[in-house]
Structure 1
């Protein structure tokens, strides 16, 4: 390839290869994005409320040893939450000012959604050790009428952890699908529809 051909290839209009998104299609995309932003804001403020409530409850726990354990546990959960919410905030910033002019930018947005879906799953999985610790603390500090045998302790612990993890999984799936998943599916369908054109 000589220099003139290289210049011609360089100067070719890239928009011919990357189709533009029409204003009507952008409006269809912005509606689910706005709903996702609203849900992200609502989730953020709910989490803040939950942690404030948790620290207030910690302040009234007795004896001091229980109060200390629970406070450390809630503070650790807060650190994990801050880490994951910093990731979610990046996505929130991205979709707050979307520049969706081309098919490729829409594909990039979908990749970010899928990445954040994995973060969301990881966020819920990161609470598994906290659930186990909370159950152990509760079992240790509940004043039982009769001391628990080792077998009863194991059964209560395993049963509580199993039920807790199942409940966490169901809640996480429901929450994600209700507040984010259905909008992601809507945008994926728009992407497929746009690809056919």
Structure 2
């Protein structure tokens, strides 16, 4: 009985510690880090935030998990309604005279801290820094419709595309519906690349 009491007490103390940083400060810390595009030390040492670098790491993980779980599903939707596709096709046609286009795809390198020594070769890109090769699809409003950030920079854009869920979604589209990509992507039924 006493052991049970001590366990419940320690879990209560743990809960109090984890919530010692107010949610607004956690959000500000994460936003500061994302706005700077920098490392955590600058965000933690900020006069208004005053958090240690290890605390910033914990806060970032917590806030980004919430963003991924609750906000991303509301705003990043790969599947388009028929109305959205038709609006996109009209817009692309008016701007470029290219029929049937609903979006564009490209890869970008997102810089990361050098990984462990035995993995560094996988993340060192052709530009000389460590990164992830992130595939992004957007519509005519520049709204992000799909993101795949699972792969290291040693992987080619076509590799990331071929293993993505988005490729499967494209195969479900009607005839004469396309996305545009650069020469890093394969020419396919629903993916148009330059000739």
TM-score interval, smaller chain: under 0.3
Query: Which structure exhibits the higher relative contact order, with contacts defined as CA atoms closer than 8 Å and separated by 6 or more residues?
Result: 1
Q: Which has the higher strand share?
A: 2
Q: Which has the higher helix share?
A: 1
Q: Which has the larger radius of gyration?
A: 1
